[in-house]
């Protein structure tokens, strides 16, 4: 079985890896690139723990073949903070205690960033429906929603 050579840009950096056909982008991120921040919670696109942003679109990396990443721009949780500085979303999650076990958190943060990139002033309902694909079993979502909306307010302020 011959492997395919893939070139992509991940979190702003050019990367290359080899993959057998049939492996997912999630497999490649975790096992080939050492980016274990994206998690496998279900492998079927139902939990969102593997969420990444590809060419500006929020997707489940477990539902993309590694080969489909060829030439694409991928953003993962590892790219959310800039240098050592946490993104406002990350900061708000800590302030609001919007995580307990932390397993769903990378996926939720990536999804929330995609939300605020497309809608800087979401209502509570819009936030909940946007994040419906990110399962959390620990928090009941309350503090997550508050943290996202608070971060949105901060980001809108910063733009003013």
Q: Which two tokens stand for residue 55?
A: 């060419």
CA 155, 150, 120, 72 torsion: positive or negative?
positive
Give the nearest distance from C-beta 111 to other proteins in angstroms.
7
- Nearer residue to other proteins within complex by CB, 46 or 121: 46
User: Residue 17 or 141: which CB sits closer to other proteins?
Assistant: 141
**Nearest distance from residue 142's CB to other proteins, in Å?**
5
**Residue 160 Cβ vs other proteins, minimum distance, rounded to whole Å:** 25
Min dist. Cβ of residue 25 to other proteins (A):
10
d(CA 31, CA 82): 24
User: Nearer to other proteins by C-beta: 22 or 160?
Assistant: 22
H or E stretch including 155?
helix 142-159
Cβ(53)–Cβ(25) under 8 Å?
no
Rounded to 10 deg, the angle between the 142-159 and 88-95 helix axes is 140
**Is 17 or 146 the residue whose CB approaches other proteins more closely?**
146
Q: Where are the beta strands (DSSP E) in 41-137?
A: 51-54, 57-60, 73-75
Closest contact distance (angstroms) between CB of 145 and other proteins is 7
CA distance 93 to 138: 14
Nearer to other proteins, 9 or 40 (CB): 40
């Amino acid at each position: 079985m011959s492997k395919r050579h893939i070139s992509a840009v991940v979190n702003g950096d050019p990367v290359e890896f080899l993959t057998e056909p049939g492996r997912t982008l999630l497999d490649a991120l975790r096992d080939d690139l050492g980016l274990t921040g994206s998690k496998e919670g279900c492998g079927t696109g139902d939990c969102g723990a593997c969420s990444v942003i590809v060419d500006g679109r929020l997707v489940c990396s477990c539902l993309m073949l590694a080969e489909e990443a060829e030439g694409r721009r991928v953003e993962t949780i590892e790219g959310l903070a800039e240098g050592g500085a946490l993104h406002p979303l990350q900061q708000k999650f800590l302030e609001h205690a919007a995580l307990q076990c932390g397993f769903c958190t990378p996926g939720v943060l990536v999804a929330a960033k995609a939300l605020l990139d497309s809608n800087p002033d979401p209502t509570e309902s819009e936030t909940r429906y946007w994040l419906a694909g990110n399962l959390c079993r620990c928090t009941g979502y309350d503090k997550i929603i508050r943290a996202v909306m608070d971060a949105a307010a901060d980001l809108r302020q910063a733009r003013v």
